[in-house]
Amino acid sequence: MQIVNTRLAIFSYACLIMVAAQAQDIASRPHRAVEPVRLAEARWTDGFWKQRLDTCRDKTVPAMWEIMQGTKYKPYLEHFRIAAGLSEGKYRGASFNDGDFYKWIEAVCALQAIESIPEWDKRLDEIIEIIGQAQRADGYLHTPVLIANRNGDMTVKPFSDRFNFEMYNMGHLMTAACVHHDVTAKDNLLAIARKAADFLDEAYRSPTPEQAGHAICPSHYMGLLELYRATGEPRYLNLVQRLIRMRDQIVDGGDDNQDRLPFTQQNEAVGHAVRATYLYAGIADLYAESGDKELLKPLTAIWKNLVEKKLYITGGCGALYDGASPDGSKDQSSITRVHQAFGRNYQLPNATAHNETCANIGNVLWNWRMFLATGDAKHIDVLELALYNSVLSGVSLNGTDFFYTNPLRVSEADPVDLRWSRTRVPFVTSFCCPPNVARTIAEVNGYAYGKSDNAIWVNLYGSSSLDTKLVNGSHVRLEQRTDYPWDGRVRITIAECPAEPMELRLRIPGWARSATLEVDGKPVDVKLHPGTYANLQRIWKSGTVVELNLPMSVQLIESHPLVEETRNHLAIKRGPVVYCLESIDLPEGTSLADVRISADVNLQPRFDADLLQGVSLLEGKFASIRNGDWQNRLYREFKRDDANPIPVTLIPYYTWSNRGIAEMSVWLPLY
């Protein structure tokens, strides 16, 4: 037995070396402008994101484990135990619950990259062992089907229901496995993911029109491409190309799943927002591997449509609970009923905004991949907007309660009875968002920096350290110190650098006006255009200090006139943070419906370390105009009432609903 174990260990070690060597051979993508850094190479050291990361590690992930290891709400790990024959029972939950569990595993792995905790490492090994036992010999892994078969129902077969989320679940398995392998150097979860990918490769060897509908919420494009990069196995790249071409074979497609038209003919963000953003992220990822301009053209058009006509000021997307697409089409047979839809151009309701947290995260995933492919700062601008606002709003400050939807206005008299809670809760029936936001927060450090042949790209500002090698092999260490997003002063110290010239590319956010830049106290002759990267190229010395100042004035934002709900309204933004007004901060007896804002309002920032875990507030005076009695009335004769000044305090949007039930609004009417 000892000889067998020794041989097995030698074989496993050899496989690890081979996988690492294959991955290293393709480390620099031929069609990427920027390469990501590894999660272990960038670390938050203090401030805003360090606080979020700590909460994720200490509160969110453990609380989620308590849910997922038991059966109080729905089984997660227990489903794998039943599928493996370690327990008895039936499948009880949504068909995408496996994917939710994989996302939680990914969050744990990402946190282990920063601080390896032996207890979690041991727990991961135990979980992976159970998942491996549940997997079928041919690689198929989807517990709803496996449990039905184990309980004797052989009529339930793989891919018999296009809405069974098999691809989605396996895609998240692959992504989690690649993060686990990168962080731990273990291949136990990677081996399971490879078996699943090999199963898909065989099952979709020659895709048919009947198979073309099996791409609901397509996380598998991203997962397979991560697997390709981790292993160097070209079959996985080829499989993604086949699966994306397969979409065009569908005979009963619709906008709900973005397959009414071939992808290369699409130019508008349509349908279910999570499915859409996952699709766009996966195709952007494929473009980075293939350089196929036919893919980039529709991606660019769709991105422009979203950002210019369908994106909320918070970076949220998927405006409607329920929609029809293409809306108002003369060919009524082509209209699809769509859940959580993008809606029409400029259709951006506030009280009934859907903005599922997963869709907002999908927006981050898509823009990150567009940035890697193009090096364009506008994609990090959108990524940052979503992260600070519509992603973080999805989780409470204590890290254990969650929003499924993220409206921009909540009042005591909401116009309709809506499906999802207006307060954060520990468990949502559709539990896809909580582990998704957990893995996103755990991986924000991976977005902070990028690298190319001889350049470091600084994308997100926050106190952090970077220890990496450029694509050309040069070793670089940086230290960043800042109170961003509350203060725009950023100090970057070059701790270690190559002896040859290196570029430091600093993002100048699109909102930043009058930015200044100094090196060792001396202004540099570099143009600082908002929405671009400032490029500093020189032979650096250890100890050199770069100081970037991004003045953070309070900005009053108006919307396009065709956004009917917010005509003659203003929103308030400072730096990357969108603000809102909660009724809890109004004088007693004042309703949110009474509040008006003046175009010349003077709002002053004040940092309060004791409120909402430390935030910059905006303080000033608005006007109160009594709304009057509207009971049993739809219209009434207009009468101008006197406006009375009232003191107001605005809070960051992501912090709303953390102090109890209250009314809230991002957009406020002008007077």
| Rg of the chain over all Cα atoms, to the nearest angstrom | 25
* pLDDT on residue 29: 75
* Tens-place pLDDT, residues 262-283: 999 999 999 999 999 999 999 9
Q: Which CATH class is domain 453-549?
A: mainly beta
* Tens-place pLDDT, residues 424-461: 999 998 999 999 999 999 999 999 999 999 999 999 99
Q: Is the pLDDT of residue 348 over 60?
A: yes
Which of 20-29, 546-555, 633-642 ranks highest by mean pLDDT?
Answer: 546-555
- The rounded distance, in Å, linking the Cα atoms of 234 and 143 is 28
Q: Secondary structure of 255-321 in the HEC alphabet? A: HHHCCCCCHHHCCCCCCEHHHHHHHHHHHHHHHHHHCCHHHHHHHHHHHHHHHHHHCCCCCCCCCEE
Phi, psi of 625 (to 5 degrees): -125, 115
Strands annotated E in 434-553: 449-452, 455-458, 464-469, 475-482, 489-496, 502-508, 516-519, 522-523, 532-538, 545-549
* Tens-place pLDDT, residues 640-666: 888 899 999 999 999 999 999 999 999
* pLDDT on residue 418: 82
Q: What percent of the chain has pLDDT over 90?
A: 85
Reference 570, options 608, 635, 616, 620; nearest CA is 620
Average pLDDT of the chain is 93
For residue 28, what pLDDT band results from cuts at 50, 70 and 90? low
Q: Which two tokens stand for residue 528?
A: 């600082």
Contacts of 1 (CB under 8 A, 6+ apart): none
- The rounded distance, in Å, linking the Cα atoms of 188 and 12 is 10
- HSE-up of residue 446 (Cα within 13 Å, Cβ side): 23
- The rounded distance, in Å, linking the Cα atoms of 595 and 591 is 7
Residue 427 Cα distances to 4, 378, 407, 420, 431, angstroms: 46, 35, 19, 12, 7
For residue 152, what pLDDT band results from cuts at 50, 70 and 90? very high
All CATH 2.60.40 domain ranges of the chain, comma separated, are 453-549
- The rounded distance, in Å, linking the Cα atoms of 243 and 212 is 8
Judged on CB neighbours under 10 Å (0-12, 13-18, 19+), 62 is middle
Q: Is the pLDDT of residue 18 over 70?
A: no
For residue 8, what pLDDT band results from cuts at 50, 70 and 90? very low
In order, the DSSP letters of 70-119 are S-SS--SHHHHHHHTTSS-----S-TTHHHHHHHHHHHHHHHHHHS--HH
Higher pLDDT, 14 or 121: 121
Asked if residue 549 lies in contact with residue 489, where contact means CB atoms within 8 angstroms, the answer is yes
* pLDDT on residue 311: 98
Q: Is the pLDDT of residue 10 over 50?
A: no
For residue 26, what pLDDT band results from cuts at 50, 70 and 90? very low
* Tens-place pLDDT, residues 245-259: 999 999 888 999 999
* pLDDT on residue 30: 82
The mean pLDDT of 15-44, rounded to a whole number, is: 70
Amino acid identity at 222 = M
Q: Is the pLDDT of residue 57 over 90?
A: yes
Q: Is the pLDDT of residue 501 over 80?
A: yes
Prior bond of 298 cis (ω within 30°) = no
Flag the least confident range among 41-45, 91-95, 219-223, 626-630: 626-630
* Tens-place pLDDT, residues 349-363: 999 999 999 999 999
Q: Is the pLDDT of residue 584 over 80?
A: yes
